Amino acid sequence: MADIKADETVDITDVVCPVTFVKAKVALDELDEGQILSIKLNDGEPVQNVPRSMKEEGHKVLKLDDNGDGTYQLYVEKVGE
Q: Residue 63's beta-bridge partner residues? A: 75
Per the CB < 8 A criterion, the answer to whether 41 and 68 are in contact is no
Q: Which residues contact 35 (CB under 8 A, 6 or more apart)?
A: 7, 8, 77, 78
Active-site hit among 7, 11, 13, 17: 17
- Is 17 in the active site? yes
Q: What is d(CA 12, CA 80) in angstroms, rounded to the nearest whole number? A: 23
Q: Which residues are catalytic, by number?
A: 17
